[in-house]
Amino acid sequence: DVVMTQSPLSLPVTLGQPASISCRSSQSLVYSDGNTYLNWFQQRPGQSPRRLIYKVSNRDSGVPDRFSGSGSGTDFTLKISRVEAEDVGVYYCMQGTQWPITFGQGTRLEIK
């Protein structure tokens, strides 16, 4: 199975400051079709997950442009340029390149 490792697991951030979450996979996430199936989800307290980013860097409709995704191969990053109060929650990376689908452990973002 592909192991997804996120860091940090806890991320206290001051409002208006940037934040960065790392996600590393135990194997390359480049699929035979050339795509890299690495996605990012946000789970606000008491809510179901919501997709933010798909295929490494494509932002979903309605997602603020302060969220961005980058990376390649086995090393990926989610960045928030200026954290707002509504960004509090847990962020998960997920790989869809290989069965079984696997998620990172989650990174809990809180306001300092």
Q: Does 3 bind another protein (CB under 8 A)?
A: no
User: Is the separation of the CB atoms in 39 and 93 below 8 Å?
Assistant: yes
User: Is the separation of the CB atoms in 3 and 104 below 8 Å?
Assistant: no
Q: Using CB under 8 A, pick the residue from 50, 57, 77, 81 that binds another protein.
A: 50
Q: Please state, in angstroms and rounded to a whole number, the distance separating the CA atoms of residues 86 and 101.
A: 28
* Strand pairing report for 107-111 and 10-13: parallel
Q: Which of the residues 59 through 88 are near another protein (CB under 8 A)?
A: 60
How remote is the C-alpha of 62 from its chain's centroid?
16
Which range touches another protein (CB under 8 A), out of 19-27, 63-71, 74-82, 94-102?
A: 94-102
Q: Does 7 bind another protein (CB under 8 A)?
A: no
Q: Which of the residues 16 through 35 are near another protein (CB under 8 A)?
A: 31, 35
Torsion from C-alpha of 52, 54, 59, 61, nearest 10 degrees: -70
Q: Which is nearer to another protein, 81 or 108 (CB)?
A: 108
List residues near another protein by CB under 8 A.
Answer: 31, 35, 37, 39, 41, 48-51, 54-55, 60, 90, 92, 94, 96-97, 99-106
